[in-house]
Chains A and B, each alone.
Chain A
Amino acid sequence: MALLETTHRDFANVSKIIGRHGKGQQELVPILQEVQAEYRYLPEEILSHISTAMGIPPATVYGVATFYAQFSLEPKGKYVIRVCDGTACHVRHSMPIYEAIRKKTGLRGKRITSADGLFTVETVACVGACGLAPVITINDEVYAQMTPEAAEMIIDALMNREVNPVETH
């Protein structure tokens, strides 16, 4: 997947991020956040690079990266879909929406990212839009008052866009 490959150029980017923050151990979380924003996940080689560059043992960097739910060590899809499962959404049947999306994107078992690298599907505790429940977010854009059918339609639209790309920007 060319999309998710890392190269030496990437290390240069990471070094820049570290350069901006400095090497104190307290900078590790902000650095990981920026790196994740850039790559959509935390690749192993990059975590190792951060460890060497900051002089923090790799086991510690790995420990921090796995402690926080916001970090992902798996490549994320181009579209990250989060289904809210906070109390408000849950009582308004968010789980059938989640199941429908997983089915639509072909996810089984423990997999959260589709084989084509397009979709990552997760649940999230509460996005703070309870009045619009049930909601999902796709790359941080909120879709309100969802139903399984509506969610499937949105995914269809995204899949189509990938097959017949339209210039959007």
Chain B
Amino acid sequence: MAMEPVVTIDGISVRIEGERNLLELVRKAGIDLPTFCYHSELSVYGACRMCVVEVDRMGVVSSCTVPPQPGMVVRTNTEKLMEIRRTILELLLARHDRECTTCTKNGGCRLQSLAQRLGVRDIRFGGGDAKRPLDRSTAGIVRDPNKCILCGDCVRVCGEVQGIGILDFAFRGANAAVMPAFNRELREVDCVQCGQCVSVCPTAALTIKDDTSRVWKALGNPKMKVIAQVAPAVRVALGEEFGHAPGWADTGKVVAALKRLGFDMVLDTAFTADLTVVEETAEFVGRLVSGDRSRLPQFTSCCPAWVKYVEQRHPEFLPNLSTCRSPQQMFGSLVRNTPVLGEAEDGTDVFVVSIMPCTAKKSEAAREEFSRDGRPDVDVVLTTHELAMMIRQVGIDFDQLPSEPFDLPLGMATGAGMIFGNTGGVAEAVLRAAASLLAPADAEGHRHEAARLAFEEVRGMDGVREASVELGGVTIRLAVAHSLGAASAVLEAIAEGKAEYDLVEVMSCPGGCIGGAGQPVPSHIEVRKKRAKALYGIDKMQMLRRAHDNPFVTALYDRLLGEAGSEKAHELLHTHHVHAGKAGSACN
């Protein structure tokens, strides 16, 4: 008789249901075994040994590397195991910069919290490593080698998920360290600033560059009109920073919090996402009906990490990128350079702050082509996490915040702009708009909008999703990829002639921006699914779900831009993409 697929864990029977390793099974049994180097979405590394358990007839094993077998008898809490875990922590801490009170990760550090949980009270081993210099060379990420515990999580996410491999182990023994090639600064290598390495780092070895003090300063300056734009993904994640379960939209609270922090206006990046849809769809349909396939498939351009990736690694595909600026930069350009906020504004007194789920957006805002006379269109980019820090700093009780509406007109958005935060969202928003542009016209030239709003075929969490959609007699072939590893597979298929598409959407982060590195952690697949669902939920509730139905977008074209793709639109809302090697020469 076959043995029941059951493992005994601390005396309790636990059924094996497809778990790949003992660790997953132990966690299913409600025991939170500590880990540093295990991530369910990365390969198993088995190096930190925090996850040790005792298995009858096997002895002490790291549970993340052992597949569960029926009949196994496992113990997770013996004195011996506790001692092993404490010793590992002591060894890690012996070589670790222990300035916890001033550390950016204070309160959010796994090493710190495990030392607390396991009751480490004394460190028996000497440390004494010389302090190594910090890398603050990029706009989005700070690397502090003194805080690295060599778990290799960043190495694997950058290599396995993003397919880039900026970071790796170097040297060995006591000198072993994780670093970019030749110990260069991140600025000097092909890092795209996606920040996924930051998301998985358990300590403060990789952190988000903290820009909150610049915002406090602007808020304290009575001559500055401080304006916030809030990206779609932020509203479905900020609550997690305050202990809420993932999957809730807190839009009204986000606005209220920003108002209480002193922002003069709180506006919605989803508005300029609507504008992006209109511009990008016009560009796409133009390329499509022209019959000239040289710039097809059209690639989306709203993710700066993806744009940087194409510039650095695949300049041959630069003509395929949409020339549209990202919603963040369209917003900055409009506010700085046009009277959209009222005729009296003088753009230089306006301080533009973006609240983004993203570290790459910090680098994007710092790009030369998005500055005029040395002043960036977007002054500061704060991540969701930094906004939470500001809210905590002043003691605002997030739960007691009322729900407040965005200011108008740049606070009004349709469902199309909202789903920009999800992988597949940009493609779907473009499809909604293209459906109208390609709808057959009647005798008077009126186009009857296709009734179709939801395009389920581009939704979901598979790394690459392909779809073929028929709109007004035209078949549009799409690919949607999230993570740069998935994107590179799509590029390869196109280059080898194995696949042909008309539109390719890429977001660098798993799940899209809702899984960005500026979002609260943990940000694993289950959390991302819930955030994505919440954004689709917002979309469904909107009266208007097509970008071009946004009355303020229409008004903007009537009063300022003319029509989609006009010269004025190009000046304000588009950009040129240049080969990374030649960056700086082609843009004025």
Which A residues contact B (CB, under 8 angstroms)?
Answer: 44, 47-48, 51, 56-63, 66-67
Contact = CB atoms under 8 A, between A and B. Distances in A.
B167 A67 contact: no
B373 to A, nearest CB: 37
B181 A59 contact: yes
B170 to A, nearest CB: 4
Contacts of A67: 169-172
A60 B182 contact: no
A51 B170 contact: no
A51 B166 CA distance: 12
Contact of B165 (A44, A48, A59): A59
Contacts of B166: 57, 59
A106 to B, nearest CB: 25
B180 interface: yes
Most chain B CB neighbours (cut-off 10 Å) among A47, A51, A59, A61: A59
Contacts of A60: 159, 165, 168
A56 B165 CA distance: 8
B396 interface: no
B312 to A, nearest CB: 13
Contact of B171 (A44, A58, A59, A66): A66
Contact of A57 (B168, B169, B172): B168
Helix, strand, loop or mixed for chain B's interface? mixed
B66 interface: no
A62 B182 contact: yes
Given A58-B181, A59-B179, A61-B181, A66 B170 contact: yes
A61 B180 CA distance: 11
A63 B168 contact: yes
A59 B172 contact: no
A51 B164 CA distance: 12
22 contacts: A44-B182, A47-B181, A47-B182, A48-B181, A51-B181, A56-B165, A57-B168, A57-B181, A58-B181, A58-B182, A58-B189, A59-B165, A59-B170, A59-B179, A59-B181, A60-B159, A60-B165, A62-B170, A62-B181, A66-B170, A67-B170, A67-B171
Contacts of B171: 66-67
Interface string B161-201: 00011111111100000011110000001000000000000
Contacts of A63: 168-170
A59 B170 CA distance: 8
A56 B166 CA distance: 11
Contacts of B182: 44, 47, 58, 62
B159 A57 contact: yes
Contacts of A48: 181
B165 A57 contact: yes
A53 to B, nearest CB: 15
Interface in B332-373: none
Contact of B167 (A44, A47, A56, A59): A59
Contacts of A57: 159, 164-166, 168, 181
A27 B521 CA distance: 39
A126 to B, nearest CB: 18
Contacts of B180: 59
A61 B170 CA distance: 9
A66 B182 CA distance: 9
A92 to B, nearest CB: 27
Contacts of B169: 63, 67
Contacts of A56: 165
Nearest to B164: A57
Given A59-B189, A66-B170, A66-B172, 18 more contacts: A44-B182, A47-B182, A48-B181, A57-B159, A57-B166, A57-B181, A58-B181, A58-B189, A59-B165, A59-B179, A59-B181, A60-B159, A61-B181, A62-B181, A62-B182, A63-B169, A67-B169, A67-B172
Contacts of B167: 59
Contacts of A47: 181-182
A61 to B, nearest CB: 7
A57 B313 CA distance: 12
Nearest to B166: A59
A59 B180 CA distance: 5
Closest CB pairs A-B (n = 10): A57-B165, A58-B181, A59-B168, A63-B168, A59-B181, A62-B181, A66-B170, A63-B170, A66-B171, A60-B168
A67 B168 CA distance: 11
B36 to A, nearest CB: 20
A58 B166 CA distance: 8
A168 B189 CA distance: 46
Interface in B119-138: none
Given A51-B181, A57-B159, A57-B181, A62 B168 contact: yes
A164 B180 CA distance: 45
B182 to A, nearest CB: 6
Contacts of A66: 170-172
A80 B176 CA distance: 25
Most chain A CB neighbours (cut-off 10 Å) among B167, B170, B171, B179: B170
Nearest to A57: B165
A62 B166 CA distance: 11
B159 to A, nearest CB: 7
A32 B477 CA distance: 45
A93 B40 CA distance: 54
A169 to B, nearest CB: 36
Interface string B144-171: 0000000000000001000011111111
B204 to A, nearest CB: 21
A52 to B, nearest CB: 11
Contacts of A44: 182
A100 to B, nearest CB: 27
A9 to B, nearest CB: 23
A62 B189 CA distance: 13
Interface in B282-304: none
Contacts of B168: 57, 59-60, 62-63
A115 to B, nearest CB: 23
Interface in B527-567: none
Most chain B CB neighbours (cut-off 10 Å) among A44, A56, A62: A62
Contacts of B164: 57
Interface string B432-453: 0000000000000000000000
A23 B431 CA distance: 42
Nearest to B183: A62
A61 B159 CA distance: 13
A63 B181 CA distance: 8
A69 to B, nearest CB: 8
A79 B218 CA distance: 62
A57 B159 CA distance: 9
